[in-house]
A and B are shown apart, each in its own frame.
Chain A
């Protein structure tokens, strides 16, 4: 029977009948194995009737005990259904014990793995003993499996067993086989992350020893070992430089995870060296080189890389020297890649590459995808605000785009124009004229709100502002509250700047309507407030329309403590979200740079946030790496 047919849903009763019918036949072993496959395939499909077949599975397993494939499938079955069928699992125990004494390393690993997965009391009791034995096995693969099994059973083990586990793990940190060392480090990190009262630290000699091991081990062990370097706190600048130099070659590894972890270690160490880039001048070229390599990996890895480039640009820009054209969008890039590329183009833009950047952004602004269009227009506007020397050219591009009279372009320009006008008071007023011509296209509330605000604030510069306001006011009742509030303020401002019959009637109408008909308390209160001001007959222009402070670049900076923690988490999920780690993962333990005489910016950071050094947290440090 072809295996793909196994993926058809069957009833438990059918299987029982089939098994019974074939019991006496000659090829029953083959048939029973296929039946087991069928059961596991159905379990995968989510067919929960399979739970009732546990005694049949047990019988097949014990019967075909020489077949490793059968064992694996059976263990998979029981590790899925053991909570419902604990009694059948107990019958597996003798076989597992026998396997653990077998000659084959594969079987020994397999039995340890099964013991550590099925969490019923009988298994756990056995696991506590055998896992310790496995960690002392003569075969490195079994030792490795033993180490990883600890991370499954540690949480349920009694205190004295835990101590034994930790002793065993610490011993294996000096194992002759590198991947066992790596596994032990992995497991310790796992335990520290998930259990209180544990602390991983590593002394100078061991850290240097580990780095020597890096060259001769497989790539996933390299990742684990690199992570263990993060537990070492360099006490002198020389140590930090030496370690960083050792990591630099790994930036050219073919495995993106090794590259990003090496980068994480280098960034971490750079905190312990004053003027890191001057000490290691090659670093900029090497880091930038590894970024461009990662950009030819699959999209998901590109995405992760770019999120981390954003992080580095915010805090460690001196380590990067990147070509902005590397991040230009391809037509067929997924949406998340395009968005992130746009963000990077914005961050990398400067006076020298601005014409290239603007040409590229203009290209995106004329695309069909309106989300992309909006984001690129926003980027052009924000560039004008961020770099004053290129404002003229950015505005020129926006002006050219407005001429297209496409609705989403006009709307987005209206939104960004508000900020531009505030940044450069008195300049670029001609943009308002182009907007006025397209006022009918402002169909979404955000752009209309922004435009109404502009009308009120710059009513002196717009000759027909009162007329346009009058026109927009016609739709007042249907507007969302935010737009209504903006309209109210704009009307009052217009009236104060150019009092006339027309504006007076407008102001009276809006005040009457908002105080008498509006349900929204904020709106009503504000209307009353204006009314009282107006009836005080004083010069209230200064109050209603004060000189606005000039806005600065929208805040693309994160607070230093958050950057610090994110840099210790390069390549992790938090680095994708670029948000404080605890905000996304409530249970994760906070990470901070440990203080040492070499920490380059110890003073500034330590004062900004209360710092809890390892010494103070280290009350019951049980697994100090010595």
Chain B
């Protein structure tokens, strides 16, 4: 049960303050400011309990979003709520990052959201489509469909059309019972002139290796994002397959994925079928985590003190290990160098290399790297005395690969079945792989 809710800016000024229950007073916000925000440098825990009052917080940019409770509250509900709250603001304002000014400019709306999403301290309703009818304050229109012109959608549409579903078992064809199970996430009586579905498969690659290349952890966190603009109450079927090395399709690994609330979990559990009545607009259908044996890039670094003794020279080799018809863009390798390094001698045939002094890294950027290539960077920096005891941040790599799934996943089919209206749906699929936390220890 949430007793109070606050949003602070970076300086600790209260932007939003809402009490839901007796037992706390408005000035409880001072306690959090003094105990946590002013000690910003070391946050020991997202949860602070003083007496029997607890503060749970998350950060979003410079903002602090804080829930106050007086009992042994279900922290999973509160933390999930805080994150959803930020997501909701982002969607309502149509922004990727919500700043102090956005909150100030829309504060009546923020209070309305709090009013409707928390009832007497209980989280009750958080879904934009069901929340919308209760909101009267105006916000900036969310930037839906900004990059998706109709012609673009049509061009992509061919990629996903699949053959008939005659082979699929009976259970797939039966629509979900729309009368028995209500679908609180979907508004009734939607009507679109053109029915479209945009599917984005986004995979974030995570890698952690030791200095000598031993892989400690290598996996993708994938998300399937949908933008559904479908009429009526359609039942959708979605199939994702995993394509391994030997090029044989495999059933999608099941235990490490999570679904949006609209997916019928029982069907998935028993028949491995992803079946759902989608909410309107954008949502995340599922997320998954798959271990990957072959990371897309290999990085080898050697560091030698120069013969003269005044410099250290680095050799960095970058190898791309994906098919050669695939290209990664914006490949940026950040190699930490000793603190206070001010001079850099480099030697490379490909890409650009520069020293970012304030962060103590050498940044090597390659605009485009095709699969199966090798690139080498050599550079030298002066030795420094602080070197021996300094922190050793890892080398980090960022990249993005369009139209390719590093985890080897592929959308196999997407079927829409609306019992009363018979319409054709324009479907398109995009793949995007990128690095989330790709680290090589030094």
A residues near B (Cβ < 8 Å) are 2-4, 6-7, 37, 40-41, 44-46, 67-69, 72-73, 76, 79-80, 106, 109, 113, 116, 119, 141, 144-145, 148-149, 151-152, 177-179, 183, 186-187, 190, 193, 215-224, 227, 248-250, 252-261, 285-286, 288-290, 292-293, 296, 298-301, 303-304, 325-326, 328, 330-332, 334-336, 359-360, 363, 366-369, 406, 569, 571-577, 581, 584-588
Contacts and interface: CB of A to CB of B under 8 A. Distances in A.
Interface string B413-442: 000000000000000000000000101010
Given A215-B266, A576-B75, A252 B259 contact: yes
A584 B52 CA distance: 7
A218 B52 contact: no
Contacts of B45: 303, 336, 576
Looking at A252, A367, A368, A406, which has the most chain B CB atoms within 10 Å of its CB?
A252
Contacts of B183: 216
Contacts of B101: 4
Contact of B269 (A249, A289, A336, A573): A249
B258 A253 contact: yes
A37 B108 contact: yes
Nearest to B258: A254
Nearest to A186: B122
Contacts of A141: 134
Contacts of A571: 74-77
B122 A148 contact: yes
Nearest to B18: A76
Contacts of A406: 389
Given A152-B21, A368-B391, A257 B76 contact: yes
B127 to A, nearest CB: 6
A360 B130 CA distance: 48
Given A336-B46, A584-B49, A249 B266 contact: yes
Contacts, number: 265
22 contacts: A3-B106, A4-B105, A46-B27, A73-B108, A152-B120, A183-B119, A215-B265, A216-B182, A218-B127, A252-B258, A253-B259, A255-B80, A257-B76, A257-B81, A293-B287, A298-B79, A300-B83, A301-B83, A325-B217, A328-B208, A330-B437, A584-B49
Looking at B26, B81, B107, B268, which has the most chain A CB atoms within 10 Å of its CB?
B107
A218 B49 contact: no
Interface in B298-333: none
Nearest to B286: A254
Nearest to B77: A257
B390 A575 contact: no
B43 A335 contact: yes
B248 interface: no
Contacts of B284: 254
B79 A300 contact: yes
A285 B255 contact: yes
Given A253-B258, A330-B437, A41 B107 contact: yes
B166 interface: no
Interface string B16-37: 1111011000110100000000
Interface string B247-280: 0000000011111110011101100000000000
Contacts of A218: 125, 127, 130, 184-185, 261
Given A254-B286, A260-B76, A44 B14 contact: yes
Contacts of A290: 258
Given A68-B136, A80-B26, A576 B76 contact: no
A513 to B, nearest CB: 39
A369 B42 CA distance: 13
B392 A367 contact: yes
A259 B391 CA distance: 37
Contact of B180 (A7, A216, A257, A261): A216
Nearest to A219: B261
Contact of A223 (B71, B74, B120, B391): B74
A573 B72 contact: yes
B398 to A, nearest CB: 13
B74 A255 contact: no
B74 A572 contact: yes
Given A72-B108, A257-B77, A368-B392, A106 B127 contact: no
Interface in B124-163: 124-127, 130, 133-134, 136-137
B368 to A, nearest CB: 27
Given A3-B105, A113-B115, A301-B76, A46 B26 contact: yes
A106 B134 contact: yes
Nearest to A3: B105
B274 to A, nearest CB: 11
Contacts of B180: 216
B44 A335 contact: yes
A257 B74 contact: yes
A338 to B, nearest CB: 11
Looking at A73, A290, A331, A363, which has the most chain B CB atoms within 10 Å of its CB?
A331
A45 B42 contact: no
A44 B266 CA distance: 46
Nearest to A106: B134
A250 B261 CA distance: 10
B402 interface: no
A220 B125 contact: yes
Interface in B68-95: 69, 71-77, 79-83
Nearest to B16: A44
Contact of A144 (B58, B79, B119): B119
Contacts of B44: 335-336
A332 B441 CA distance: 12
Nearest to B130: A218
A286 B255 CA distance: 6
B216 interface: yes
A221 B184 CA distance: 11
Looking at B45, B106, B120, B183, which has the most chain A CB atoms within 10 Å of its CB?
B120
Nearest to A298: B83
A260 B79 CA distance: 12
A222 to B, nearest CB: 8
A259 B259 CA distance: 11
A7 B19 CA distance: 19
B108 A257 contact: no
Nearest to A327: B217
B357 interface: no
B265 A252 contact: yes
B254 to A, nearest CB: 8
B441 A363 contact: yes
A293 B257 contact: yes
B268 A252 contact: yes
A303 B389 CA distance: 29
Contacts of B261: 218-219, 222, 253-255, 258
A227 B260 CA distance: 20
Contact of B289 (A148, A186, A296): A296
B393 interface: yes
Contacts of A250: 265
A252 B265 CA distance: 8
B120 A577 contact: no
Given A220-B123, A326-B217, A573-B56, 13 more contacts: A79-B19, A179-B124, A222-B261, A223-B123, A252-B259, A254-B259, A259-B258, A296-B221, A303-B46, A336-B43, A368-B389, A571-B74, A576-B75
B412 interface: no
Given A254-B260, A301-B83, A183 B105 contact: no
Contacts of A119: 22
Would you list the 5 A-B pairs with minimal beta carbon distance, nearest first?
Answer: A216-B181, A289-B255, A249-B265, A368-B391, A148-B119
A301 B80 contact: yes
Contacts of A304: 75-76, 79
Interface string B371-406: 000000000000000000111111000000000000
A41 B133 CA distance: 24
A352 to B, nearest CB: 16
B208 A330 contact: yes
B104 interface: yes
A331 B257 CA distance: 26
